[in-house]
Structure 1
Amino acid sequence: MDSNFETNCSSVPEHVLSWSGQKMPVLGFGTAVDPPVAPQVTKQAVLQAIKLGYRHFDTASVYGTEQPVGEAIVEAILLGLIKSRDELFITSKLWCNDAHGELVVPALHKSLQNLKLEYLDLYLIHWPVSLKPGSFKFLEINTEDVVPMDFGSVWSAMEECYKLGLTKSIGVSNFSCRKLADILAFAKIPPAVNQVELNPMWNQKKLREFCKAKGIFITAFSLLGASGTAWGSNRVMESGVLKEIAEAKGKTVAQVCGRWAYEIGVSMVVKSFNGERMKQNLEIFGWSLSQDEVKRIDNMPQSRHHRGDEFISQHGPYKTVEEFWDGEI
């Protein structure tokens, strides 16, 4: 187990981020819903999550959920579910159309306004690519608007967000080893986190080893293969190996995936607005997988699902999926 894991009063372990010293709950509650739901639905789900013991909430400007998350935080304090905002760890992300040096700080100010917060705990670059500035819609990208990211100016602006006290940590999402190396080559404040697709059938072993060596913590999304989304599949949830392990343990497949992620030393963002599954996702601690079970999971066939096809164009900076991920597919 990672030596930087600690246990807090809500029974969800925390990880101490190398570059900021911040404690981040290893289990986060995701708010990206495909297809989108009404803001009130998100607000009530976040409130229920706080009641159950979740303390890490993950949102993004592109999700359209920052405002209901913020409203839920305000109400949670009024109801006495938490004493103050400081009891929560809030992550949001810079969307691609604002991934331009001069637009980063204003974008974070807008996110904070939506969330009704004075600061974030973690601010991430959502993807390693930029879109032409302007309006956007969730999951709608015109490939003609995809342009190369000026990593130097964008990361410098992310560092400025930290220096201004607008966020306690900064990081990235969907970055390959090579793109992380590019950032590290000039960063004065290195990324604390890289949030990526990671599950038993895409275990990101190479990226995990690289990030561990560089002190960058990995957060997993799509831990269950993004079943039910436009780009995901049921392959994780329908895995015979995972079903057998779950039955032997008296757990669900989702719980086995969560426990596996915890045991390999990453954090995770889980996404369910179903009350019972929200409870089950919290029940991945206090038990363990056997060495044989871990080995069986490690030997599962591997392939990336979220390929980033929406950013691929013969007229853009990335002509192929292989180029976009620097061969990490």
Structure 2
Amino acid sequence: MPVPKTFTLNNGIEFPTVGLGTYRSKPGEVEEAVKTAIDAGYRHFDCAWFYGNEHEIGQAIHSKICSGVIKRKDVFIGSKLWNNFHARSAVVPKLKESLEAFRLDYLDLYLVHWPMGFKEDAPLAPKENVQEAFSDVDYLETWQGMEDAYKLGLVKSIGLSNFNAEQVDRICKNCTITPTINQVECNPNINQKKLIKFCRERGVLLMGFCPLGRSEYSGRPGFPEPTIYDPKVQEIGKKYNKTGAQVVLNYEVNNLGIFVIPKSVTPSRIKENIDIFDFELNDEEVAYLDSCDKNKRVCPANDWKDHKYFSFNAEF
């Protein structure tokens, strides 16, 4: 089958399968990265309040709209609610803050960044005395706030991020609006096949962050080596005149059936990462990539493992 350029969400919206990730994109870099991505054909941008760069991303999008390259309806902008703002009363104000930064009237996708809540006055990413920072706000309350935002027309689709199967199921059983997306780490080292199937059975699609692993962690003890450097994957790439990264992204979209949001600020890689729609892996190649699964994360969030709603204590 041809590699799909969009997947249809459970609310009928067609969402681009490949987006640009913007985590840790530095000030001064992310605006140019987004402009380059738009020119290269990207129409899906994954953002978050926690990343601290929504204003620059908004500037880039506004610039391209004003110059006539795109219209607002052509682009799909997603952001996320951070852990310190899980109270139902905090959700809409925080979303409005993001909208102001983006200079937009609505978002296309808004996600609960993590199921774990922090106290509003706690550090954003506590590493010391972490249990003192924890809030016991139930993510079901947070989801009520997300539904409020949807009903106000501030967002077209709402979803989750870093939720395990039990947590997804609990949301689905206690909501009036089913999540459209669950964004989790997904790459050949942790292919999330069980979670993909579980979510899909409930009408929820998976979006994979770190779809290429993290090359900056290559060789670091305790972290899985990115599959893009695997000699067999490199060999597959040569067959199709593609890079290892393109092979991996193609596998994830076409064979795992997930959205991918590779992050880059390098123009050549930005262009490379969306050029994955003109080849199909054969059964043997797919089987090899399937065999790479080690169920190992590059984003284990171990600092927060004692939170009552920590995601990664479950099997999947």
Which of these residues, 64, 80, 86, is aligned with residue 73 of structure 2? 86
Q: Give runs of aligned pairs for residues 189-228 of structure 1, distance below 5 A.
A: 189-228=177-216
Equivalent residues of 1:96, 1:130 under 8 A apart: yes
Q: 2:36 and 2:99 mapped to 1: Cα distance?
A: 22
In structure 2, the residue matched to 1:244 is 235
In structure 2, the residue matched to 1:96 is 83
Structure 2-normalised TM-score?
0.92
In structure 1, the residue matched to 2:108 is 121
Answer yes or no: is 1:132 the counterpart of 2:125.
no
Amino acid at match of 1:312: K
- Give the drift of 1:140: 5.2
Please identify runs of 4+ aligned residues in structure 1 that moved more than 4 A.
139-142, 229-233
Cα deviations by residue, 1:101-141 (Å, 9 ceiling, x for unpaired): 1111111011111111100000000011001103645x555
Q: 2:94 and 2:157 mapped to 1: Cα distance?
A: 16
- Please, what is the CA RMSD of the aligned residues? 2.0
Amino acid at match of 2:234: K
Q: 1:108 and 1:208 mapped to 2: Cα distance?
A: 27
Amino acid at match of 1:278: I
- Give the drift of 1:99: 1.5
- Give the drift of 1:61: 0.3
In structure 1, the residue matched to 2:245 is 254
Equivalent residues of 1:227, 1:233 under 8 A apart: no
Q: 2:105 and 2:135 mapped to 1: Cα distance?
A: 31
Q: Give runs of aligned pairs for residues 272-287 of structure 1, distance below 5 A.
A: 272-287=264-279
Structure 1-normalised TM-score?
0.88
- Give the drift of 1:147: 2.6
Answer yes or no: is 1:58 the counterpart of 2:46.
yes
- Give the drift of 1:65: 1.3
Secondary structure of 2:216's match?
Answer: coil
Secondary structure of 1:27's match?
Answer: coil
Percentage identity across aligned positions? 36
Q: 1:193 and 1:217 mapped to 2: Cα distance?
A: 5
- Count of equivalent residues: 309
Query: Which ranges in structure 2 are unaligned for 5 or more consecutive residues?
Result: none
The structure-2 alpha-carbon separation of the partners of 1:99 and 1:141, relative to structure 1 and needing over 3 Å to count, comes to farther
The structure-2 alpha-carbon separation of the partners of 1:51 and 1:191, relative to structure 1 and needing over 3 Å to count, comes to same
Q: 1:183 and 1:61 mapped to 2: Cα distance?
A: 22
